[in-house]
Each structure stands twice: as C-alpha cells, then as structure tokens.
C-alpha cells in the first residue's frame, strides 16, 4: 500500500527550483519534482504574433514543451527527425501556454511576447505540471527583467500559478504521481491552481473505470493542497 | 440575458442523429447539435496497431477529427495543404479516441480495430462533444455489424458515452454553447459522461478569470443533466 | 449487358443539386450524381495570390478537391495525416480550378479570389465531374453575393460549365460511370463542356487497349449530350 | 505568322535521341526536341509495389518526372527544398507512367518493376511529350537488358508509344509548340499515340476561349501525323 | 591581445565531465567546456539498421546532435516545429557518429547499436567538440554496461577519441575558442584525435582569407596538444 | 597495384569543362572528371537573403547540390519524394557555398545573390570536388554577365578555387579517386585550393584506421598539385 518512495498519499516529492540555470535567457529555471527535471527558459521578444499586432489586445505569452529523446526509460525518436510534432507534445504545449497566460495582464505587457521553452531533461511522471510550476518562476524573472528595462506599460504579473498531478492508484487517491504510479492509475488528473486557490485548468481522465463525483472531489482536494505548497515554494524561490 | 436562440441556460439545442448516412461504412451517423453538423464514420479493420499485436490486450478503438475548410465562418487552410496537423486537431482526436475506448472491452473485441472518422461539415460550437455523441452511435452500429459476422470473441460494448460543453457566459452557467456563446465564455468545460452518469473526461479551462469550486460544481451539474438527455436520444436512435 | 442500376448506356444517374447547404459560405451546393455526393463551398476573398497582385490581370478562381477518408468503400488514410497531398488529388484540384476559370472574366471580377472547396462525402464514380458541375452553381451564387455588395467592377460570369465521365465498358460506350463501371472500363474520359456546347477540357485515357478515332468520337457525342442535360439542371437550380 | 524558328505549322523541331547516355542505367536516353532536353533513365527492380505482390497481375512500370531548377528561363525552387512535390510534377509523372504501361504486357514482365526517371535538363516547351518519347526508347533498352538475362517469363514489349504537343496559336493549329508558342496558345493538347496510330492519351485544355469539335479534329490530325514521325525516329534509334 | 577570459592562446577552458547524469541511460555524461554544456546520452539497442542486418559487418554506432532553442544568446526555432532538420545539425550529427565509430570494433560489438544523443543545453562555442569528447565517455560506460550483461561477443572499445576547436583570431592561433572568439576567427578548425595522438577528422575552413601550410601546421600542433589534455581528463573520469 | 583505369597515383582523370551548356543561365558548365558529370548553373538574383538586406555586408553566394536518382550505380530515391533533404546533400551544398564565397568580394558584388545549382548527372567519385571546380567557372561567367550590365559596384571576383579528392588506398596516397577507389580508401580527403595555392577547405576523414601527421602531409601535397592543374584548366576554359 506504500508508495514507491515511501511517501504518504498526500505528500509531494522533494521539489527543487534553481533559478538562472542559463546565462543568457531572460528567465530560466531548472525545476525538479523528484526524478523529473525540466529546464524552463523564458525568452522576451519585442513583437507579437501577426494576428495580434495592433489589435489593442496587447502582448502574448506562449510555450513550447518537448522531451529529450533519452529523458525516458526507453528512448523515443526525436520529433525533429520524424518531421512532425506529436499530439501529446502539442497538447501539453497548449496547456502550459494557457496556464501561464492566466498570470499575465496582456495589456500591461505591451506588444511583447514571452515564450517559455520547457524541455524535459529527465521524465519520472508529472512533467507537464513540473513544467508549469517552473515556467511560472521563469516568467516572473523575465517580467522583472523587462520592468528593469521599462519595456512594459504596466506590471503584467497579476497572479501566480502552480500545477500538480493527482490520481487514483489501487483505489487510493494520491498526490504528485511518479511514473510507475501514473502507469498504474485508474483516474489521472492535472490541476492548475492560482496562488489564491482558484482553478485555471482541471483535466481529468478515466484511464480505466469511469469515476464518480465523490472521487472527483477527493482528487480536487488533494490537488488544491499540493498546489498551495508549490505556490509557497515558488514564493520562496523568487524572494 | 437571453441566449442567441432564446433557449434557457439549461437547454440543449435541437439534436438530430441520422444513422447510416453513408452506404459503405460499418457504422455512420450524421449528428447535429443545432447548426453544428458532424459526419461520424466507423471503419472496422481486422488488425491492431503494431505495438498491440499479440500483446494479449485485445483490440483497439481510435479516432480522427477534422474540420472541412469552410465548415467555419471564415475559411481555414486545409491541414493536408499545410502538410501538418494542428495542435487543436490532435488534441480533439485524442479526446474522442479516449472517450470511445471507455465504451469498449478491448479483449471482447478481439484483435480488431474500430476507427472513428469525425468530420465537421458545419461548425457552430461544440463540435468535439457532438462528435463524441455521434461517434458512440456509429461505434455501436459497427459492433453490431461485427457481431453479425461473429468477428468478436464476446460483446465488446460495455457502456455508452455522451458529451456536452458547458460554460459561464456573463456570469451565467450555460449548457451546450453555440459559437458566439463559446467565444464570450469566461470558463469553458467539456464533459464526457457514461449512460449511468459517471465521468470519463472533465476538461475545464478558465479563458478569463480563474473559477472557484462553486462554479465548477454548478457546471458539472448542468453537464451531467445534459448528457443524460443525450444518452436517451442515443438509445432511441439505436432502438 | 444491362448497367448496374438498369440505366441505358446514354442515361445519367439521378442528379440532385441542393443550394445553400452551408449557412456561412458565399455559395454552397451539395451535388449528388447517384451515390456520389460532393459538398462544394465557394469562399470569396478580397485579395489575389501574390504573383497576380497589381498585374492588371484581375481576379482569380481556384479549387481544392479532397475525399473524406471513409467516402470510399475501403477507408483511405487522410492526406493531412500522411503530411502530403497525393498526385490524384493535385491533378483533380487543378482540373476543377481550370474548368471554373473558364466561366469567369477575371478582369470583371476585380482583384478578388473565389476559392472552391469540393469535398467528396461519398464516392461512387465521377467525383471530379460532379464536383465541377456542383462547383459551377456555388460559383454562380458567390458571384451573385459579390454583385449584391458591388464588389466587382463588372459581371464576371461569362459562361457555365458542366462535366461528365464517359467510358467504354465491355465494348459499349456509356455515360456517367458509377464506380463498378469505372473500374471495368477500357477507356475512360472526362469532358468539361460549356452551356453552349464547346469544350473546356477533354481528358481521355486508355486503361487497357488503346482506342481509335471512331471510339473517341462516339464518347464525345455521349459526353456532349450528357453535359447539355446537366447544364439544364444547373439552370433550373439557379432559377 | 511564321513560327519563332521559321517552321511550318505541321513541322516537328529537330529531334535527337541519344541512347546509353548513362554508363550504369539499364536503359538511358538523352532526348532533344529543339531546345528541350530530357534525360530518361530506366531502372530495373526485381520486385513490385506491395499492393501488387502475389496478385497475379505481374510486373509494374512507373515514372518520375522532375525539372532541374535552372532548366527554365527563371529559376524555380527545388521540390526537395520545399519539402513537397507540386501538382504539375505529380500530374506529369502519372501521365508518363500510364503512357509507358500501355507498351507493356505486365504478366510477360514477371514480378519486376521498370522505373523511368525523366529529368528535364533544359525546358523549351513539350517536356512531358519529349519525356514520353524518350522514355519509350529507354524502356525498350531496359527490356532488352532483362531479356538477355532471361529475367522475364515472356516478351513484355507489346507496342511503342510516342507523344507530341499541339495547340492553336493565333487561330493556327500548330505541331510541337516551343515555350513561347505554348504561352501564347489558346488551346493546348498533349497526345500519346501508339506506333500503329491508336490513342493512349488525349488531354486537351482551353487556356482561353473554349474550342469546338472542328478545332479538336484538326489538332488530333496534326498530333497523329507528328507521332508517326516520332515513332519512325524511335525505330531508327533502336535499330 | 588577451582572450575574453584571460587564458593564454594554448589553454583549454575549465573542462568538467559528470558521469551518470541521467538515471536510466546506459551511459550519460554532462560535459562542460567553460559555458558550453552538452548532455550526452548513450542508448543501447539490440538490433542494427536494416541495411546492416545479417551483413557480417557487426554492430553500429550513430549520433544525433541538437541544440535546445534557448541554449544560444538569441533563441532559435525548434527544428521539430519547422518540420525539418537544418544542414548544420545534420553535418554535426554525422561528424559525431563517424568520430565515435572510430572507437569501436563493430564486429566485437555484435549486432547491437549504440546511439549517442548529444543535446546542447548551453552553447558558448565548441559544442561539437565538447559533444564528441563527452560522448566518448558515455559510449565507454554503455559498453561496460553491455559487457556486464555479456551482450557483446568481444571487447568493442578499441581506442578513445577527444576533440577540440582551434582557430586564428587576430593572426593568433588559439585553442578551444569560445563563442565570441569563434565569430571573430579567420580560420576555424575542428580536430578529432585518438588517445594515441592520431587523427580521426581534420576539418579546416577559411572563414575569411585562405590559409597557408604554415598556419595549418601551427593549428594542428595546438589541437593535438589540447586533445592530449582532454584524453587525460576522460581517463580520469572513467577511472 | 595499378589503378582501375591505369593512371599513376598522382594523375587526375581526364577533365572536361564545357561552358554555356544551358541557353538561359547566367553561367553554366558541364564539368567532367572521368565518368563523373556535374551540371553547374549560376543564377543571378538582384536581391539578398532577408538577414543580409541593408546590413552593409553586400551580396551573397550560395549553392545547392543534388544527385539525379540514377546518377549512381543503384538508384536512390528522390529527396523531393522523400520530402526531406538528406544530411550528405546538406553538407555538400554548404561546402560548395563556402568554397565559392571565398572567390568573391561580397561588397563589390552589391546586394545581389549568385546561386549555384550543381546537379550530378553521373557519379563516379569526386562529385563535390568536380562541382566546386565547375561552379567556379559558372560563377566567373555569371560575374562577367553582371559586369556587362553594370550590375555590380566593383569587380567581385577576387580569386579562383578548384577542388580535388585524395585518399589512401591500399597504403598508397592517390589523387582524384574514382568510385571504386573511394569505397576502398582508408583515409578520404577533400581539399579546396585557391589559384595561388592557399587553402579554403581541408576535410579529412579516417574511414578505417586513424591517420598520422606524415600521411596528412603527403595527401596535402598531392591535393595541392592536383588543384594547380585544375586551376590551369579553369583558366584555359575561361580564356
């Protein structure tokens, strides 16, 4: 009944947030959730996508997620070699972008873009939630960098986000699944929560048996508590 | 406060399920949710993807979603012409596939694949949920076709699924959003529910302000009720 | 000696032209030649391809043809999934575009483009000729739409076109081949004819034994007569 | 009224057929129609495409056509660089393949494939018809090569084909158009004719005004006469 | 005249080789040449490319090189997003593969493949030479892993390789160029040297003025000395 | 010990340079090194790549290399059909481009581009070095063409380049390897030398045993002597 690493069901793995891992990026974070390691780099561009130019909508925040071929236990082919990006990669990149846009007042950002590259160096479950959690810190650093240079008309950072995975494994709802738990989970859920406890994304999937309202509620409780801890760690890292 | 077409917030648009719209497919349905029209075709293949062959896991169910270029108000370029499938298409194809797999006992299916093509002929909001709702009926017909030919070791159809979109528009939680409502929604949610009221997928996104637990609960209530109606319409169509 | 559906060799299948099948396109037609069903949508764009801009050549008319994966008896892979458009698709798109351009005085069209999307929903032979016949009606509707908005410097619609397939099956020249006849044909011909009986395209191919001048002449006679009937049906549909 | 190079309307340009232009191909021809130069190489493969294997249908003949980037007056981008083959290239490759298959009894060929690469080194109109005319000679050489090695169950070469373009320029029907004539032509036609004067392909397109039956007949007369000359030149080259 | 970081012309930057940076790869190294950081992962596959199977040639060693988008000062687009691998990436992947194959007796390797993924996390000049130097250590570890499992018929590791860049900057021949020196270099050279001082690759390019035999000789002297130091560091890391 | 064609180790194959092989290119050369035949076409464009526009850096010289599918003994698939350019093609195109840029003062060229297409019609070893040697002559002709039209602010042609391959076959250093020698070579080297005997590129690869400094020196001697002969042939061709 114990978890692979002896944690209780409501515990996060050891989380580590290392800022400024890269010398040149406007913000960069190596984020670790146990064995999962994601390098998040924020790039500031003084332009916006064509469809947004002069629209009065202000700036843009977007993300690209990818895994190194040997970040996983068995090697995967490179998407650059296959010549196309897979559905899972697309889906996660879109999720990260949406989640980070929730942190930003795009009008206060001015017609600038912040692009968040989230590259998984090692994958042990929860790569997308680690990526969101780390990318928020890189985003905050990139916005500080812009503010120092007076690039933005106002303060674009309006809230923080953190994310965590939860799931039901052997009928036990658990927080922050590692890879072996993720594979065994019946229901799998990724939740993105703001620093004040509201939801930005809830994505819940029955991998096996469909789940009922009670299970959904218990998983949400776990996720909200986990994200509160992660928010605190983000605050400390940025202090 | 009234909706574009005068519905109350908890009403579905007129739904129409036309079976056997194609002469040759093993199952085919033209499903209409108001102005949204999706052609769902089920193809039976007597093989499984290579990674599944001889694995003892049995059959496979998968889906491909696409929109005709002029299904929308302004024309979109064809993905075949662009040479790549976009992230949204990938994401929805994967959602439909996962949802339909929840209906099937793959071992009872034998080493066969059912592929569901969901092509949007006209889009007026809720194309992915209409696709899931229609594809279930096409899937049920394809399984009947297989059973008649004694292709399957058992009865693979273990439950039904239906899906609907819900959202908060001008602070009002609403069921089955049309395109103009979808664009205006603050929170947007797609829910896939079984015939017995359990969840297969819950995907909820804050397009604007993050949402709280109370809003989440009210949206889930609406979705569950809407899916119950859709399940009944599926039952009648298949009778 | 009789045909699959009992027709005499010089008869068309039942033809049905449904205008305004889509709510938003500037012109749209569902055209049916027996079991063949093609959705033709005309999109008006207030620009021309770059190579034509400011050339004094005026507007442009172009077309894209595609088949839904399960429009045929056995499913074909999507060209978007394969990442490339096949030779047959290219060839037919070009044929439709050329044929429709023959209907239009591009100078009178002004620097606008009309794009005709012809999507085969169900294929039972003659999809390209049905597409041309239906696309002409969608084109005429799109031009009416433009004329109402005074978008064009003159009346760009200078003639009508219709198209039909003919072929020699078991030594008998036949009009409007269905799929099983098409497969059995020795010589296969697609002819595009104007409303006044002149030729826009003649494409004749010996699938088996080469054909002589006499056979060519008999097939042309059949095609011209068939296209006269189709022109009349187009006129009625547009009345 | 005279043609660019002083020819009468019913004259071919100087035609030159150089066999064995390559040291290693099983058949190879440099064919020249005036300034148009096409290198045709036949490759023999002791296998057939997968869909044909063990079908009892015997061998296969196919073709690939391409233009060098600077074969034309203004350079075109390479299709390999663009990452996709254009519609025109696809269309001509298919035409050459169909035309050459008419020369071959595939059962007598055995389960072997002959692939004809037709690369345009310099283009001055009529590249597809020069390619077919040259490829026939390369094909005949490749079949001789196979017969010497007793690779084929019978003699697969059952007829010859030659091809020529014709068109109406300033109301005058003309044979074998060079590039400047081709651009000015109102009606453009490519005809593939067997050594005994039957048709394999007739492709006629109105570039401007639609054409009538009389014009069609006069163009066919010119083409048949031109192909008879080309067939004689092929015979001499192979003697 | 001094270098950016105060080194003398014949000095390497600080070099760091961290083994087992990944938990799951059969060999993995994070190699650092100053600010340049490359993650090298060796994957063992119990098969060989198709063209090598059963050829009696034994195993295979190959490599893939890539840069993270923000490894550089200004962000580069992902090759997976562009849908194609650039020329520089191809060229460097091939160079690494050839260099590492020089270390291996492929017959003693048996029909196994070792694939070396070299991903640049941060780029400050000399990424390809750092990659080769690090990949050798990962390769050696992967071979030890195989030997422990008795996967190879013999000992495939027959020599070591290390690599370094040299160049002429402001007329001064220099060892191990950082990015700013690389950009300013007149002649640029990458040299791959075995542990016993022989050459595996010499690639020398005049970026500006062509170079003479004397300059070539001086650069080779520097490179050979630098590689000797690197070989020693590799030996220590593997001890 | 004799070479395939009886040459001594220090002899070039018969070299033939035919200028103006194409009617329309601004410079064109068919270059032959024995059985190797490469068609080099220079295209002048009155613009530069976007990243160079208005940079004050002046014009640009670039190259594209490709092989016809049946230029080799066994046919290769077309890169256009595969949809991507291979690593070897990329690498050689870049080498040719760099080598030719060494001939040109880009400021004196003005904001114009010269693009060199090098298409291998027949391959018998040394295709990249033949391409460079021929492309130089096409480049010189294109610059003459520009100078006649006063397109350039100055004389951009500042030096000539020629290239040759050398290698060690059965322990004997040899000049200008044909295909069978190339395959058997232990060390393979391509050298690009100016008309005054300086180096533009030295690329040396150990295919088998690593090579020592003495072997490197002997190969360079052979290459420099061979390039001097080629430079003289270029001078004669351009006289």
Question: What's the pLDDT tens digit per position in A81-140?
Answer: 988 899 999 999 999 999 999 999 999 999 999 999 999 999 999 999 999 999 999 999
Cα–Cα–Cα angle for C118, C120, C124, rounded to 5 degrees: 135
Establish if E98 touches chain F: CB-CB under 8 angstroms.
yes
In chain B, which residues have their Cβ closer than 8 Å to the Cβ of C28? 70
Nearest to A23 among E64, E79, E122 (CB): E122
F219 exposed, middle or buried (CB, 10 Å; 0-12, 13-18, 19+)? buried
Under an 8 A CB cutoff, do D199 and C206 touch?
yes
Residue-wise DSSP of chain E: ---TTS--TT-PPPEEEEE--SSSSSEEEEEEETTEEEEEEEEEESS--GGGTTSS---EEEEEEEE-TTSSSS----HHHHTS--HHHHHHHHHHHHHHHTTB-HHHH-S-EEEEEEEEEE-SS-HHHHHHHHHHHHHHHHHHHHHHTT-SSS--B---EEEEEEEEETTEEEES--HHHHHH-SEEEEEEEETTS-EEEEEEEESSS-B-HHHHHHHHHHHHHHHHHHHHHHHHHH-
Query: What average pLDDT does range A168-185 have in this prediction?
Result: 94
pLDDT at site E1: 54
pLDDT for F1 beyond 70? no
pLDDT at site C228: 98
Question: pLDDT tens digits, residue range C68-111?
Answer: 999 999 999 999 998 889 999 999 999 999 999 999 999 999 99
Residue of F nearest to E94 (CA): F87
The domains of chain E, with CATH numbers, are 15-238 (3.30.230.70)
pLDDT at site A1: 55
Nearest to A94 among B91, B102, B213 (CB): B91
C196 exposed, middle or buried (CB, 10 Å; 0-12, 13-18, 19+)? exposed
Question: pLDDT tens digits, residue range B95-144?
Answer: 999 999 999 999 999 999 999 999 999 999 999 999 999 999 999 999 99
pLDDT for F84 beyond 90? no
Q: Dihedral of the CA atoms D44, D48, D54, D59 (nearest 10)?
A: -50
Residues 199 through 218 of chain E touching chain F, CB cutoff 8 Å:
199-206, 209-213, 216
Residue of C nearest to B72 (CA): C24
pLDDT for D131 beyond 60? yes
Question: pLDDT tens digits, residue range A36-92?
Answer: 999 999 999 999 999 999 888 999 999 999 999 999 999 999 999 988 899 999 999
pLDDT at site C1: 54
Under an 8 A CB cutoff, do B220 and A213 touch?
yes
Question: pLDDT tens digits, residue range E67-125?
Answer: 999 999 999 999 999 888 999 999 999 999 999 999 999 999 999 999 999 999 999 99
How far apart (Å, rounded) are the C-alpha atoms in residues A126 and A34?
A: 10
In chain C, which residues have their Cβ closer than 8 Å to the Cβ of D106? none
Structure tokens at C44: 């008006």
Query: What average pLDDT does range A164-187 have in this prediction?
Result: 94
Mutate to test the interface with E, among F62, F87, F224 (most CBs of E within 10 A): F87
Residue of E nearest to A27 (CA): E70
Token pair 């680690």 is found at A130
In this prediction, residue D31 has a pLDDT band, given cuts at 50, 70 and 90, of very high
pLDDT at site D151: 96
Q: How high is the mean pLDDT of chain D?
A: 96
pLDDT for C4 beyond 90? no
pLDDT for F221 beyond 90? yes
Structure tokens at A217: 């509620």
pLDDT at site A4: 80
Question: pLDDT tens digits, residue range E196-205?
Answer: 999 999 999 9
Binding site as annotated, residues of F: 88, 126-128
pLDDT at site A208: 83
D13 annotated ligand-binding residue: no
In chain D, which residues have their Cβ closer than 8 Å to the Cβ of F64? 69, 78, 81
Is residue B151 classed as helix, strand or coil in its secondary structure?
coil
Cα–Cα–Cα angle for F118, F120, F123, rounded to 5 degrees: 145
Q: What is the ipTM of this complex?
A: 0.95
Under an 8 A CB cutoff, do A216 and B199 touch?
yes
B128 annotated ligand-binding residue: yes
Question: pLDDT tens digits, residue range E112-126?
Answer: 999 999 999 999 999
CA atoms within 13 A on the CB side of E101: 23
Q: Which backbone phi and psi does A134 adopt, to 5 degrees?
A: -75, -40
Nearest to D43 among F35, F70, F85 (CB): F70
pLDDT at site B146: 98
Residues 19 through 48 of chain F touching chain E, CB cutoff 8 Å:
none
Work out how many CB contacts closer than 8 A connect A with E: 84
Query: What average pLDDT does range A221-230 have in this prediction?
Result: 98
In this prediction, residue F200 has a pLDDT band, given cuts at 50, 70 and 90, of very high
pLDDT at site C73: 94
Under an 8 A CB cutoff, do D70 and F23 touch?
no
In chain E, which residues have their Cβ closer than 8 Å to the Cβ of A69? 41, 43, 64, 117
pLDDT at site B208: 83
Question: pLDDT tens digits, residue range C125-152?
Answer: 999 999 999 999 999 999 999 999 999 9
pLDDT for E207 beyond 90? no
Stated pTM of the model: 0.91
Nearest to A202 among B90, B194, B216 (CB): B216
pLDDT for B222 beyond 60? yes
Residues 50 through 89 of chain A touching chain B, CB cutoff 8 Å:
84-88
Query: What average pLDDT does range F197-224 have in this prediction?
Result: 95
Question: pLDDT tens digits, residue range C198-237?
Answer: 999 999 999 889 999 999 999 999 999 999 999 999 999 9
E19 annotated ligand-binding residue: no
pLDDT for B2 beyond 80? no
In this prediction, residue C63 has a pLDDT band, given cuts at 50, 70 and 90, of very high
pLDDT for E2 beyond 80? no
Query: What average pLDDT does range B212-227 have in this prediction?
Result: 97
In this prediction, residue B207 has a pLDDT band, given cuts at 50, 70 and 90, of confident
């Amino acid at each position: 009944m114990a978890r692979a690493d002896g944690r209780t069901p409501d515990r996060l793995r050891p989380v580590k947030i290392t800022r400024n891992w890269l010398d040149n990026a406007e913000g960069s974070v190596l984020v670790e959730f146990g064995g999962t390691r994601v390098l998040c780099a924020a790039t500031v561009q003084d332009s916006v996508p064509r469809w947004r130019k002069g629209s009065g909508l202000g700036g843009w925040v977007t993300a690209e997620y990818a895994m190194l071929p040997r970040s996983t236990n068995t090697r995967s082919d490179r998407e650059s070699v296959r010549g196309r990006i897979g559905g899972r990669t697309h889906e996660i990149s879109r999720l990260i972008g949406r989640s980070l846009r929730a942190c930003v007042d795009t009008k206060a950002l001015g017609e600038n873009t912040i692009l968040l590259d989230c590259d998984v160096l090692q994958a042990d479950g929860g790569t997308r939630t680690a990526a969101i959690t780390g990318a928020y810190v890189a985003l905050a650093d990139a916005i500080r960098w812009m503010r120092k240079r007076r690039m933005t008309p106002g303060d674009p950072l309006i809230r923080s986000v953190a994310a965590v995975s939860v799931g039901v494994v052997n009928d036990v709802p658990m927080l922050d699944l590692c890879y072996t738990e993720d594979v065994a989970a019946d229901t799998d859920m990724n939740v993105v929560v703001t620093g004040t406890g509201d939801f930005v994304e809830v994505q819940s999937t029955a991998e096996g048996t469909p789940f009922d309202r009670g299970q959904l509620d218990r998983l949400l409780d776990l996720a909200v508590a986990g994200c509160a801890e992660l928010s605190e760690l983000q605050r400390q890292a940025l202090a």
